[in-house]
């Protein structure tokens, strides 16, 4: 059982789990393809020009090592970074995990979130991703880059956290439950309950 299932409480419900948007892997894959093409050309050049002896073997081995160093390293390292970066939302908290050896862990209780917003560039809108910013308690805002389906994630957090309750009469009781009889508001988009910025967001990339 992997993350986030292994860290959930018995009665905790997982609402969302994702990695950063797949566009982060575009450049590494392109680098691997380019390195493979160059290695193929050099291998063919070695085969034609170097005599069939130990010199050819050494030259072919050198081409392979350069391809492995440039191509595989430029691809595997970003892929591991992408695969070990998790963003999850449950009915109680927002969870962020990053790293394989040196790990970063961040948990944000939903009831302490005061503001949720997102930003999108033109390219982000094409890929339907963006940067998600969460303000909570008295801490500095946290920013998570390249969140896929950013609009849906923003709406989910607004619905599940107090940040979205400015459009209704919903309250959070001391036990972490909802006020009975409250109906979920619709039609909201960007929510900002904070009185003002407390500094630049800390970015997770």
Check if the beta carbon of residue 113 is closer than 8 Å to that of residue 19.
no
Range of the domain at 127: 108-170+186-194+201-205
pTM of this structure: 0.70
| Pairing mode of beta strands 113-119, 202-204 | unpaired
Q: Is 132 helix (H, G, I), strand (E, B) or coil?
A: strand
Which residues have a Cβ under 8 Å from the Cβ of 152 and sit 6 or more positions away?
none
Question: Do residues 46 and 113 both lie within one domain?
Answer: no
Question: Do residues 151 and 76 both lie within one domain?
Answer: no
Digit-coded pLDDT (tens) for 168-195: 444 444 344 443 333 333 333 333 333 3
What is the average per-residue pLDDT within 155-163? 85
Identify whether 149 is part of a domain.
yes
Digit-coded pLDDT (tens) for 37-57: 988 898 888 888 888 778 888
The 8-class DSSP code of residue 21 comes to P
Counting Cα atoms < 13 Å in the Cβ hemisphere of 47 gives 6
Tell which of 82, 97, 131 closes a domain.
Answer: 82
């Amino acid at each position: 059982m992997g993350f986030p299932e292994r860290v959930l409480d018995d009665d905790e419900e997982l609402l969302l789990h994702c990695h950063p948007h797949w566009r982060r892997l575009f450049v590494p894959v392109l680098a691997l393809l380019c390195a493979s093409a160059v290695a193929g050309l050099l291998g063919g050049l070695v085969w034609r020009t170097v005599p069939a002896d130990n010199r050819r073997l050494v030259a072919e081995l050198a081409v392979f090592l350069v391809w492995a160093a440039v191509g595989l390293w430029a691809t595997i390292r970003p892929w591991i970074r992408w695969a070990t970066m998790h963003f999850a939302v449950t009915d109680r908290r927002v969870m962020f995990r990053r790293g394989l050896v040196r790990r970063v862990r961040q948990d944000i209780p939903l009831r302490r979130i005061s503001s949720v917003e997102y930003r999108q560039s033109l390219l982000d809108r094409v890929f339907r991703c963006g940067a998600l910013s969460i303000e909570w308690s008295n801490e500095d805002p946290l920013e998570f880059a390249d969140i896929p389906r950013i609009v849906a994630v923003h709406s989910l957090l607004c619905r599940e956290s107090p940040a979205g309750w400015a459009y209704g009469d919903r309250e959070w009781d001391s036990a972490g439950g909802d006020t009975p009889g409250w109906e979920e508001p619709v039609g909201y988009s960007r929510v900002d309950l904070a009185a003002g910025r407390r500094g630049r967001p800390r970015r997770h990339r």
